[in-house]
Amino acid sequence: MLIAVDAMGSDGAPDVEVEGAVAASLDSDVEVVLVGDEAVLKEKLAAFPKTDAIRVVHASQAIGMDESPGIAVRKKKDSSMLVAMRLVKRGEAQAFVSAGNTGALMFGARAIIGPIRGVARSALCQTLPNRKGRVALLDLGATVDCTARHLCEFAEMGIAYSQYALGVENPRVGLLNIGEEDFKGDNVSKEVHAKLRASSHVNFIGNIEPKAMYDGQSDVVVCDGFMGNIILKTSESVAGFMAQLVRDKFEQSSMSKLGAVLARRSLQDLKATIDPNEYGGAPLLGVKGIVIKVHGSCTSQGVANGIRGAAVACQNRLIEHIKENIEELRKVERSMQPDAPDEKNAVDAAETAS
C-alpha cells in the first residue's frame, strides 16, 4: 500500500513530514511517497538509517497557508499538494495525507481526485475525544450552506468512517441541534430528522446538544460546516484555556507544584487525550480517494498517525462502504417520495457534464 504525503504543507515542513513518514513506515506495512523538493527531501532522509519503504517524487512548488485556495489550485499545478493528489487519481497511490492549506486541499481533491458518484458535497470530519472514547464530527467547514440531502449524505459517510476506520460497531448517529426534542431546529433540520428516522439501516438517536456529544452519547454527530467549524474552534480554544489554567494553578505555590509532580502521569494522559496529534487526522469524505488532513502545526507524530489512519481506511475499503451507504440513502428517499424525480440521476448528470 502506497500513501502519498504532501511533504511541504505543514508549518514545520519538511522535517515533520519526513520524520512522520519514516516512523509510520517502520511500524507498519505501508510505503510512503514524499512529494516536494527532491533535493531537500533526500537530504533530510539521509539522516535516518532505514528508509527502504520511502521514495520521493519531485514537485517544484508549494501552496502556502495564506494563499487563496482557488487561485493556488489553478496556478500552482506543480505544487506538492496537487502532484500528490494526481498520484491518487492515477491509482499510483492509495491515499493522500497533507498538513497544508485546508481550502486548497478541499478544492483540489474534488477537482483532481473527483467526487464519489451521487455525493453532492464533501465533508471534513474530525475525531474528538469524549467521556466514553471519541466521536466523529462532520462537517467542519467544507460545506457551509447545507440542504437536507447534504446532511443526510454526511450522516451516511460518517457512519462508514466510524465503522470502517475507527472500528465502531453500529455507530450511533446524532443530529446537532438546539434541543433534543424532535420538533426543534429549522426546516432543514426537521427534514433531516425525518429521513434519518425513516432509515432502518441508520442507528439514529435523534437530535443532540453539544453536551451530549461530549458525554459520549453519540459516535457520529452531523451538522453543517458553519456550525461544525465553530464547535471545533471553540473546543480547541476551551482546551487550550483549561490547560493554561491548570498550569497557572499548579505554579501558584510550592504545595501546588508538589501536587503537579504527584499528578504528572494523570496530566500526561489528559494531554494525550486532547492532543490532535494522537488521532488519525481529519478525512475529507465524499471524494473518490482517501484524503486525510492533519493540523498545520502538527508534530511528526501527527503526520505518522495521519498515514496510519489512511492505511486503515484503505484496508477496510472505506470508499466502497460510503458508496453502499449512499445507495441505501437513495432507497429511503425513493420510499418517502415515490413519485419525485430521482435526484441522484440529476447529480450524476451534472458531474458527468462538468
> How confident is the model over 20-52, as pLDDT tens digits?
999 999 988 899 999 999 999 999 999 999 999
* Sign, Cα dihedral of 138, 230, 185, 347: negative
Domain 126-276+319-343: give its CATH code. 3.40.718.10
- Label residue 255 exposed, middle or buried (CB < 10 Å: 0-12, 13-18, 19+): exposed
The 10s digit of each residue's pLDDT in 152-205 is 999 999 999 999 999 999 999 999 999 888 888 889 999 999 999 999 999 999
Measured distance CA(189)–CA(220) in Å, rounded:
16
Partner residues linked to 135 by β-bridges: 128
The pLDDT value given to residue 191: 93
pLDDT of residue 350 exceeding 70, the answer is no
pTM comes to 0.87
The 10s digit of each residue's pLDDT in 301-319 is 999 999 999 999 999 999 9
* CATH topology match: 1-114+287-316 vs 126-276+319-343: yes
Taking CA atoms, 144 is separated from 17, 20, 122, 205, in Å, by 30, 32, 11, 24
Domain 1-114+287-316: give its CATH code. 3.40.718.10
Please report, for the chain, the start and end positions of each structural domain, with discontinuous segments joined by +: 1-114+287-316, 126-276+319-343
Confidence label for 349 from pLDDT (cuts 50, 70 and 90)? very low
